[in-house]
Amino acid sequence: MPTSFRRKFLFASLYFSEGAPIGFLWWALPTRLRASGLEVGDITSLLGILVLPWAFKFLGAPFIDIVRSRRWPLRAWVASCQILMGVFLLPTLLLDWRADFALIATLLILHAVAAATQDVAVDAYALAVVPVEQRGSINAWMQTGMLIGRSIFGGGALLLDARIGPAATIVLLVTAIWSSLAVLVLAGEPEPARPPGTIAARGRAFLAVLRDVLRRRTTWLVLAFAAIGGAGFESVGLLVGPYLIDRGFSSEQIGGFLFLPTVAAMIFGALVAGRRADRSDRRREAALGLVLMAATILALAAFDAQAPWLTLALLALLYFFIGAFTTASYALYMDMTDRRLGATQLSAYMSATNLCESGSAFAVGALVTSLGYASAFSVMAMVSLAGLLALRLLPPGGLTPR
């Protein structure tokens, strides 16, 4: 198998195991809860809590940077986290989701912590083994794997729930999470050797690099962009199920829409942007995706409650731009990361995007309650556009040579 294709398949598989539980928890679950009568504010509060482990995953990233070694490389971190993700989900098969909800919530939080830690290790692994000139295309494949996982266990779960039941869905979910273990073992690429020395020596070197990184203006500009750039699409994405329910669509119609059209649009957008990002300025590609994404959200708000086909068409277009924006911006984050601080710095940027998601959940929930969907989505789209200022101030080319 050619090295480039093996690398793409490897990271697509790893991100598939990340996207599967996210699709179930963030796409299928909110739709089910809204269909059962739960208030939008309660749904967004629950989602805001579940995303917090991803928002603060950078706190544990220094441990990965310092402790990983030849005997316990990044691949070992990924594999152990995947095992724990499944272990924390399996007990829910024996529990009642209503009567035992407190225990189930605890298990979901533990699952989220393991998943967020896996995310840190996977991103650091990609930074270590992927050549600079392939970061756009590899991020496109990573997004493709994640989106397929989201599709199957997001919209697909809504379609299959009546046929296979929630217990079977959990079994399939655990199987999906563990499926990339074999790929990791068979297709995993060797990592660059870690500098020799004791953990204490590596810790001192780590702190020296960390102090240097924290003094750079670019670090704070990227964090600011990551924290606000996705506010618009995160708000729409978190509430797309409840929004369509309140616009007269059935759960089955929503499931069909989330299962294929949205995911196909995001994959297409990711592949287009990944190819472009490897050939041009990734700042410009991220800015273009952001502007087009915000414009589509504003159009969705302007034509709210119009013809159903128009609503779905605008949402499909939005998901295309979401795929393009995330691919270009994630490649940019890799460019702006110091390799010596791979897990910590890159996870901090990714954590900022997750914090954006959590904050957007709480903000849009409050805005929808007081202003309605259209005004709430418009406000969050304008917040996203403020990220253009941070992009404009970033230097071209990133920290690594192109």
User: Rounded to 5 degrees, what are φ and ψ at 131?
Assistant: -60, 150
Which residue type occupies 386? A
- Over residues 366-371, the mean pLDDT reads 87
Could you report the per-residue pLDDT of 283-319, keeping only the tens digit for each? 888 999 999 999 999 999 999 878 888 989 999 999 9
Q: Is the pTM of this model over 0.95?
A: no
pLDDT value at residue 399: 52
Could you report the per-residue pLDDT of 155-199, keeping only the tens digit for each? 677 777 667 766 777 888 888 888 888 888 877 677 766 656 677
- For residue 191 the two structure tokens come to 């990592």
Sequence-ordered list of residues with C-beta below 8 angstroms from that of 2, at least 6 positions apart, any chain? none
Angle between the 342-371 and 40-50 helix axes, to the nearest 10 degrees? Answer: 170
Average pLDDT, the chain: 83
> Residue 152 and residue 251: Cα distance in Å, rounded?
15
> Residue 162 and residue 18: Cα distance in Å, rounded?
24
- Looking up tokens 């990184």 gives 213
Domains detected in the chain: 3-393 (1.20.1250.20)
pLDDT value at residue 288: 93
Cβ atoms of 182 and 14 closer than 8 Å? no
pLDDT value at residue 401: 40
Could you report the per-residue pLDDT of 62-116, keeping only the tens digit for each? 888 787 777 778 888 889 999 999 999 899 888 776 677 678 778 888 988 898 8
pLDDT value at residue 402: 38
Could you report the per-residue pLDDT of 314-341, keeping only the tens digit for each? 999 999 999 999 999 988 998 888 877 7
96 conformational bin, left if phi > 0, alpha if psi -120 to 50, beta if neither:
beta
